[in-house]
Amino acid sequence: MTMLNWMEQELEALAERSLERSLRTVSAAKDCQGYIESGGRKLLHLSSNDYLGLAGHPDIANAMRQALLDEGAGSGASRLVTGNRPPYARLEQALAVWQQSEAALVIANGYMANTGVIAALAGRGDVVFSDKLNHASIVDGVTLSRAEHARYRHNDMDHLRSLLHKHRDKRRKLIVTDAIFSMDGDQAQLRELAELKHEYGAMLMVDEAHSGGIYGARGEGLCAELGLHRQVDVHVGTFSKAFGVYGAYVSGSRTLIRWLTNKARPLIYSTALPPSLVAGISASLEIVQAEHWRRLRLREGSRLFRSRLAAAGLNVGAGDSPIVPVIVGDNAAALRFSSTLEAEGIAAVAIRPPTVPDGSARIRFSLSAVHTDEQLADAADRIIPIASGLGVVPR
Ligand code: PMP
């Protein structure tokens, strides 16, 4: 069979199960935060990870523009060659202070940070304990590391304990978790994970992709908000979501950062981020720390939206974050739900397997500090009858 033949056959099979994906172009709506334009229509944007509404912030754009003029477009090489421009040192110092850690390291994005860090911390003969709902970049990191992959049932600490016990004699043990699970919006059992890490002599790595900027008095993340910061050996976070820019960080001890500088392959073998981006992240970090009102606003809006949907009988999961899933189950039904929402002026994409487990297709609403209570209440009031019409409401 030719390459085109087998691809077309398999794509057809995906389409038949309502699992084919395609790219579509959307634009930021001009002067209208919280909306996007798609196919010439303005839609309320409930599918972005721009949680604090910073992606369009003029101070960030201006910092990027200035650095672009000062430092040029590209960094020209990997950071260990000649790509380590001045904005990096400034940012990493500020990150370490913000995270109250000894040191921090910027890596190109969250996907590369997770894969690179996990593969640097574990190898053949080691074991990585990972929640079944952890992000794909964590799963891929474990595969790359060649360590044994011990996946525990979502947030099931008894299951994790039994796996830790089974592997207690392994050389190195790494427990890794999302802080807020990206497709469900619920929290990891961070306190219990910290206890188990101590009990079994494991390392603990937490991915704050969906909690960095959102939790903690200065947006340090969920571990800091819960007072568990010092129990965690490796913090990873991304600048592509609440920070509204792009890129990622790792923070922890000086020794950890020294180790990663020598062993994290995405740092070593990939060109450094453009200096303008690094300057944009620094500008965003200042706003994230200073403008606590964005976190409060996001929290209020999320509670209102979530409770309104739940009161109508929709299954919104167990979370308390700006990620509000409405579980549908069937793939085709989730697609119909999304297209009906779009016809009603709401952009909210259907999330299907393999991003989520089979039979749990959903609409993943993600909210932003720029959304007003009125917008969210009005959206909820439009979502509920659509869900009822499609038979999504269980009662
Ligand atoms: N971790 C989690 C939990 C995520 O949801 C994502 C992004 N979808 C990433 C890591 C990857 O981050 P980035 O987009 O910066 O590559």
Is the Cβ atom of 182 under 6 angstroms away from ligand 1?
A: yes
30 is catalytic: no
CATH 3.90.1150.10 in the chain, residues? Answer: 18-52+292-389
DSSP string of 32-62, one letter each residue: -TTEEEETTEEEEE-B---TTS-TT-HHHHH
3-state secondary structure 71-108: HCCCCCCEHHHHHCCHHHHHHHHHHHHHHCCCEEEEEC
208-262 pLDDT, tens digit per residue, is 999 999 999 999 999 999 999 999 999 999 999 999 999 999 999 999 999 999 9
16-27 pLDDT, tens digit per residue, is 999 999 998 888
106 phi/psi in degrees, rounded to 5 = -90, 135
Q: What is the pLDDT of residue 298?
A: 98
182 is catalytic: yes
Is the Cβ atom of 135 under 6 angstroms away from ligand 1?
A: yes
321-357 pLDDT, tens digit per residue, is 999 999 999 999 999 999 999 999 999 999 999 999 9
96-155 pLDDT, tens digit per residue, is 999 999 999 999 999 999 999 999 999 999 999 999 999 999 999 999 999 999 999 999
What are the contacts of 301-304 at 24+ separation with CB within 8 A?
301/367, 301/369, 301/371, 301/372, 301/373, 301/376, 302/367, 304/373, 304/376, 304/377, 304/380
CATH 3.40.640.10 in the chain, residues? Answer: 58-290
Mean pLDDT over residues 36-40, rounded? 89
Q: What is the pLDDT of residue 191?
A: 98
User: What is the widest separation between alpha-carbon atoms in the chain?
Assistant: 61
Q: What is the pLDDT of residue 33?
A: 84
Contacts of 125 (CB under 8 A, 6+ apart): 147, 170, 171
Q: If you measure from the C-alpha of residue 106 to the centroid of ligand 1, how many angstroms do you get, rounded to a whole number?
A: 14
On the question of pLDDT at 395 being above 60, the answer is no
What separation in angstroms does the CA of 69 have from each of 62, 274, 279?
11, 12, 12
Q: If you measure from the C-alpha of residue 113 to the centroid of ligand 1, how many angstroms do you get, rounded to a whole number?
A: 9
Nearest-angstrom CA–CA distance, 285 and 243? 7
Q: What is the pLDDT of residue 32?
A: 78
**Rounded to 5°, angle at Cα 195 from 193 and 196:** 65
Tokens at residue 124, please?
Answer: 């053949």
Q: If you measure from the C-alpha of residue 110 to the centroid of ligand 1, how many angstroms do you get, rounded to a whole number?
A: 5
On the question of pLDDT at 28 being above 90, the answer is no
CB 160, CB 167: distance < 8 Å = no
Q: What is the pLDDT of residue 394?
A: 62
- For the chain, give me the number of helices (H) and strands (E)? 14, 14
| pTM for this model (two decimals) | 0.96
Q: What is the pLDDT of residue 392?
A: 85
359-386 pLDDT, tens digit per residue, is 999 999 999 999 999 999 999 999 999 9
Helices 157-166 & 190-200 angle (0-180, nearest 10): 20
Average pLDDT, the chain: 96
CATH class, range 58-290: alpha beta
Tokens at residue 307, please?
Answer: 């409770």
CATH class, range 18-52+292-389: alpha beta
Which protein residue's CA is at the shortest distance from atom 13 of ligand 1?
110
